[in-house]
Structure 1
Amino acid sequence: MAVEFLTDEQASRYGAFYGAPARAELERFFFLDDADREKVQAKRRAHNRLGFAAQLTTVRFLGRFMPDPRQAPHEVAEYLAEQVGIADASVTAASPG
């Protein structure tokens, strides 16, 4: 007999962003330590570095990789871009809203 742990609403939200993470969530799940930054900096172009950083950190937050890193909220892209020295976070971010 199958057991359901999630409501239908919870299941539909699983593995996806539902609004922008709070500042505390950004600091906890989207912080890049030295090892993370080293991996990110190994990528050649800004959009690759930011996309890789988004995948690396959203798997911590969502529990799975996103099909497209542009699905990350703009706030996530901005927070990551600041950490890796990318001036324009829009290279991978979805439009705000």
Structure 2
Amino acid sequence: MAGLVVSGTQVSYIGQDCREIPEYLGRDCGHFAKRLDLSFNLLRCFVLHKLPKLKFLDAQKVTRKEREEALVRGAFMKVVKPKASTGEDSASAEGHHQYTPLPAASRDLTS
């Protein structure tokens, strides 16, 4: 017994071929379906860039197309973490306590 179960915001799939899920959501759920998170594919591309001779990744054979994409785009797929800093150091250095996207001249409403 295979099939797709959509419950609220959760999607469960019972069966072997999970590659059909995006097609099913687009075809049958239409405007309710959101774009699937592709961060897994970005991570896969980055790993293949760092380890170009890898033959299997996450129990799946690495395809020629994935290898080519990793050569071209893999270096740009890295997720960068912000540097950890203490709140007091950064706030005192800049003279304010909260982040704001406004220019420095617009931050003080009294001027």
TM-score range (shorter-chain normalised) is under 0.3
Give the TM-score normalised by structure 2.
Answer: 0.23
Larger relative strand fraction: 2
